[in-house]
Structure 1
Amino acid sequence: MADQPEKVSFIQRIKQIGQAFTFTAKRDKVFLPLVIVAILLPLIAVAALVTFTELGWWIIPVGILMSLLAMMIVLNLRVNKAVMNEAVGKPGAALALMDMIRGWTTTPAVQVNTHQDMVHRTISRSGVVLLAEGSPHRLKSMIAQEKKRVSRIAGNAPVYDYIIGEEDGRLSVRKLRSTLTKLPKNLTSKELAGLIKRLEAISARSAPIPKGPVPGNMRAPKGMHKAMRGR
């Protein structure tokens, strides 16, 4: 079934942001220096305004809020890069990254074989995108089969397909976000909702995901993607 939004409490959100912070700090040497700069610059600017202008101390809370906002911007940018670097060349890379891209509804492993080659399906107002991971030779027939099945109910929605990988002729996970962002908006919100319902109806007949977890060394802490998604 496609990923559904989950309600997260304030405490859970704080914990998830903390996990994202720890995850990024362990993998990005420049992250902590950037965070320190992001926090200090607004505070220094506010201190200068208070000292050299007639602005009162009421502006200090504004500086604190600006520091927190700057820190979150740095965290969002660097955690995305850290997850992407971890994902490169590992199984499940495309699926892990799709969880961080807002506006896409993703169904994992709608086509899968015994070699654990997989085709994931993701949907947005741009249309349907099939993201394949594995051997290109084996994936060709899997992509064709899923494309044929989706096209029957997709209506006017275009169906794109990409084979994910770092070799020539494949789409690097580093370019996945930018590639999807550049796709034109082909559907209205109402058309998208109808398409999602139709595709969810056929997902029940999809092949099950093979047993065995995605390698742990490429996975961000549980819930971290949801904490950062859409920021």
Structure 2
Amino acid sequence: MAFGRKKDKAPKAAKPGGGRGRQIIDAYKMTARVDKLLPLWLLLGLVVGFGVFFGITMLFLHPIIATIVGILFGILGLLFIFGQRVQKAAYTEIEGQPGAAAAALNTMKRGGWTVTPAVAVNKSQDVVHRAVGRPGIVLIGEGNSQRVDQLLEAERKRMNRFVQDVPVTTLVVGRGEGEIPLPKLIRFLQKLPKTIRGADVVEVNDRLRAVGDLMANVPIPKGPMPRNMRMPKGQNPKMR
């Protein structure tokens, strides 16, 4: 048995909730860096939330209860404004960067949407993403407007060939004329008219996955293709 050695101390357990608190602090710092009026917005949410519900509750309940209710709704108002400003700041940070539209589309967890990023890409890194939902198939392009228009048109024709009975909508993310700014992309998609049923959305996704697997499994011969060789029907390659 050794003497004179200090007993090693057990590592301290991490404080519960530290991760969430750190995330909130980081989100505040990131947002404040972009949004200089963030403290005023948060104060506005707190004051409006408190004032409205304090005034309503005072008509029916004791002032102490009205104060408690006002404080609770004031905090809710602050948190609501904070969430909105964080989201706007996040879009501002990534807007214009490659893949920004895909990052925004991946936040769509409600509404029955299925997002497939980068279904078409060219050498200049212009890209087309696909979203399938109740409005049908939506193709979202980002990059140079002229080049991405060609990508969108080629992908739209491909969708119409394989899924003929589903409407296909195309749009470009950007700040140019006729383009959809990144912060408004999700809201724009959610406001599109619903043209197909929820069950049809599942069927469309299954058909598109089957088409993707089929195209991925088509063997490509090595070397130059003989001039007299004819492709089997149904496997004619698409000219680009």
Would the TM-score normalized by the shorter structure come out above 0.5? Answer: yes
TM-score normalised by the chain length of structure 2: 0.65
TM-superposed CA distance for 1:111, in Å, is 0.7
TM-superposed CA distance for 1:150, in Å, is 2.3
Query: Partner amino acid for 2:117?
Result: P
Identity of aligned residues (%): 33
Partner of 2:137: 128
Q: Which one is further off, 153-162 or 12-21?
A: 12-21
Q: 1: distance between equivalents of 2:29 and 2:213?
A: 37
**What stretches of structure 2 of length at least 5 have no aligned partner?**
1-16, 217-240
Q: Could you tell me which of 29, 34, 44 is aligned with 1:37? A: 44
Pair 1:164 & 2:195 matched = no
Q: 2: distance between equivalents of 1:205 and 1:28?
A: 48
Pair 1:79 & 2:86 matched = yes
**Is the alpha carbon distance of 1:146 and 1:66 closer, same or farther for their aligned partners in structure 2, counting shifts above 3 Å?**
same
Alignment root-mean-square deviation, CA: 3.5
Provide, for residues 65-90 of structure 1, a one-character-per-residue CA deviation record: whole Å limited to 9, x for no partner. Answer: 31232122212322232233234333
Alignment of 1:7-26 (within 5 A): 17-26=24-33
Give the structure with higher Rg (CA).
2
Partner of 2:160: 151
Query: Partner amino acid for 2:157?
Result: K
**Is the alpha carbon distance of 1:43 and 1:162 closer, same or farther for their aligned partners in structure 2, counting shifts above 3 Å?**
closer
**What stretches of structure 1 of length at least 5 have no aligned partner?**
1-9, 208-231
Provide, for residues 137-167 of structure 1, a one-character-per-residue CA deviation record: whole Å limited to 9, x for no partner. Answer: 4334422332233224435321111122223
TM-score normalised by the chain length of structure 1: 0.67
Say which SS state the counterpart of residue 156 (structure 1) adopts: coil
TM-superposed CA distance for 1:33, in Å, is 1.6
Query: Partner amino acid for 1:86?
Result: E
Asked if the contact 2:50/2:72 (under 8 Å) is kept, the reply is no
**Is the alpha carbon distance of 1:85 and 1:206 closer, same or farther for their aligned partners in structure 2, counting shifts above 3 Å?**
farther
Q: 1: distance between equivalents of 2:51 and 2:149?
A: 57
Structure number with higher relative contact order (C-alpha < 8 Å, ≥ 6 residues apart): 1
**Is the alpha carbon distance of 1:21 and 1:188 closer, same or farther for their aligned partners in structure 2, counting shifts above 3 Å?**
farther
**Is the alpha carbon distance of 1:137 and 1:41 closer, same or farther for their aligned partners in structure 2, counting shifts above 3 Å?**
closer
Q: 2: distance between equivalents of 1:205 and 1:117?
A: 24
Partner of 1:65: 72
Provide, for residues 188-227 of structure 1, a one-character-per-residue CA deviation record: whole Å limited to 9, x for no partner. Answer: 11112222233344455789xxxxxxxxxxxxxxxxxxxx
- Give the structure with the larger helix fraction: 1
Q: Could you tell me which of 162, 173, 196 is aligned with 1:187? A: 196
Partner of 2:99: 92
